[in-house]
A and B are shown apart, each in its own frame.
Chain A
């Protein structure tokens, strides 16, 4: 029973962090139709900035700067590189590949700087733990769940209640009609990218916090696990991304937790289990759990 609770909690914490990244994917996809391959390197950039700056600015200051800087960079990538030909949704596949180029450059630069080091982010939780009944939970995990819940709630409120959120939903529904109604597509897009970058930087903090050893150059690859999370829920649905992330987080935690009973499948099967779950879901629902099966008018 303890093991079960333990796995559930670590799964939830993992899922909460994936949700931050997956929400970034979804926001960008909704606004521009682009699958952002640079999300992992943005995440790494955010973590790196926190690691470098926390000595001078303190953890909170460093985090604020990192979130802001990463968001701005993501916005700049969209505005200066992707939108050069205007916010044309038909160019989305090509723009997707451009993000691969951006990712390669960013990752190369950051891994050159990080090298083989493990960077500490100087987060306030350290390796403290809290006892909740029979289970012991790392404080960083509680923080991950709490902060993600607040931030994701705020993002949902942004979608629902702000003019920008309305514009975004309108643009995702029908780009042309939205443009005719006076939605400034390029600005809506750029803000979406800024938001996604900021979310990625925030996620980096929890991915590098205890029990993880610290920020490595491979930390950004964890963003790849948010791909199945986003797809699982339906690429254009924020609520789906949240649900998908929790499914992926719990799957990973449970498979890793009961690995000794699953040794037939080989070592490290927890890392690949999310992908198996994703394929299973796509077989039943080709557009994800919450994805709308769009009707086509001829």
Chain B
């Protein structure tokens, strides 16, 4: 079988599974899925910046907020009242523009300095969200108009039944999320494997070498920042649709840190890893809260006898998971899977063609695969 066909065949089962899920899962699980998809879109964007370009950003929550509030303002009533699909597009562009405005800093400031500089965006942004209440609704936030395409609304009304399953807002948004995520996956892979991805990887590994090879350092750095902000804007807008309400306190530093944790847990520089990390970080607290009464040592919600509540238990587990995963797999879940796969292949080795026995991913090592923990070269 030729390579693209084989890849398509391999992609088919997970895609079919994702498409079929809304017919079997209830709203709770679907909502976890929606939040995970939103997080995955944002995490892929942050992964481009941190994993590929080697820039640290703690400002992701700000760009998510720009996307979420941008969509709400473009489509909503105190606002322009544009068609929602156009508003979604404009929100993404607005987030990109916000990233572009920050590019004088993002293009020049490096690594940890940029991380702390972007921290400023989160705090300044939060302040603006609280203060400019004619646009943002202030502390209480504002509700989000549902997305409509033509006469079809991603909302409860009008009622819709597909194959005997009532399709509410969650089911419809699920497919929207899948489409947006597929778009994200496809564009991010294209970027990573194409010329820009190579330029950014070179830049991360050695700024001097890259600039000698003709990579415009400041331009590529700010471009990576703008693209990553646009993904964040898309994630924010989709998140707003899933929540149906946006409030300033959600877009705090914790959210930025969560995104950073996602990409590092997943494995830097890999689209699949960012996705896995996003699902892990998003789903864990929700699941812990839901199944609190069945877990040992965890008090069910509402009891106040000083025990460990489900939210706290989820935080403990989340913090411990970050530490443990990174201690035993510094290259994240992506690296862990890759090593397991390599070991499996070696064990079943003789029956396979020799190319598959080589360690690492078999055909065409991608920048995403080779990007994980390349050793710093010594001067």
Contacts and interface: CB of A to CB of B under 8 A. Distances in A.
Contacts, number: 130
Contacts of A1: none
A91 B207 CA distance: 18
Contact of A100 (B108, B131, B260): B260
A229 to B, nearest CB: 10
A257 B209 CA distance: 49
A212 interface: no
Contacts of B113: 231, 235, 282, 286-288
Interface in A242-298: 265-269, 271-272, 275-276, 278-279, 282-283, 286-288, 296-298
Contacts of A287: 110, 113
Contacts of B124: 272, 275-276
B208 A296 contact: yes
Contacts of A37: 257
Contacts of B212: 298
Nearest to A229: B116
B379 interface: yes
A94 B330 contact: yes
Contact of A81 (B127, B209, B321, B323): B323
A104 B208 contact: no
Q: Which of A97, A230, A288 has the most CB of B within 10 A?
A: A97
A283 B106 CA distance: 9
A102 interface: yes
Interface in A135-180: 176
B131 A279 contact: no
B378 A176 contact: yes
Interface stretch (B17-25, B148-156, B231-239, B311-319): B311-319
A227 B56 CA distance: 14
A158 to B, nearest CB: 24
B261 interface: yes
Contacts of A103: 319
Nearest to B379: A297
B253 A97 contact: no
Contact of A228 (B120, B127, B312): B120
- What's the dominant secondary structure at chain B's contact region? helix
Q: Which of B126, B207, B268, B330 has the most CB of A within 10 A?
A: B330
Interface residues of B, number: 49
A60 interface: no
A257 to B, nearest CB: 18
A85 B376 CA distance: 16
A39 to B, nearest CB: 13
Nearest to B311: A108
Given A100-B260, A100-B261, A282-B117, A112 B323 contact: no
B319 A102 contact: yes
Contact of B319 (A104, A266, A288): A104
- What's the dominant secondary structure at chain A's contact region? helix
A202 B315 CA distance: 27
Contacts of B132: 266
B312 A112 contact: yes
Contacts of B326: 94, 97-98, 101
Contact of A102 (B264, B323, B330): B323
A124 interface: no
A91 B323 contact: no
Contacts of A298: 208-209, 212, 379
Given A94-B264, A266-B127, A275 B120 contact: yes
A128 interface: no
B260 A279 contact: no
A228 B122 CA distance: 13
Given A94-B264, A98-B327, A272-B127, A228 B321 contact: no
A278 B122 CA distance: 13
A235 B264 contact: no
A228 B197 CA distance: 31
Given A35-B115, A224-B119, A227-B119, A283 B264 contact: no
Contacts of A93: 56, 264, 268
Q: Which of B110, B261, B322 has the most CB of A within 10 A?
A: B322
Given A108-B316, A282-B105, 12 more contacts: A35-B116, A100-B322, A112-B312, A231-B116, A265-B131, A283-B104, A283-B108, A286-B105, A286-B108, A286-B109, A296-B379, A298-B208
Interface of B: 56, 104-105, 108-110, 112-113, 115-117, 119-120, 123-124, 126-128, 130-132, 207-209, 212, 253, 257, 260-261, 264, 268, 308, 312, 315-316, 318-323, 326-327, 330, 373, 375-376, 378-379
- 8 smallest CB-CB distances across A and B, nearest first, come from A101-B322, A266-B131, A104-B319, A275-B120, A105-B319, A101-B323, A108-B315, A97-B264
27 contacts: A35-B115, A93-B56, A93-B268, A94-B326, A96-B56, A96-B112, A98-B323, A100-B319, A101-B320, A101-B326, A105-B315, A105-B319, A108-B315, A109-B316, A227-B116, A227-B119, A231-B116, A265-B131, A266-B128, A268-B127, A271-B123, A275-B123, A282-B105, A282-B108, A286-B109, A296-B208, A298-B212
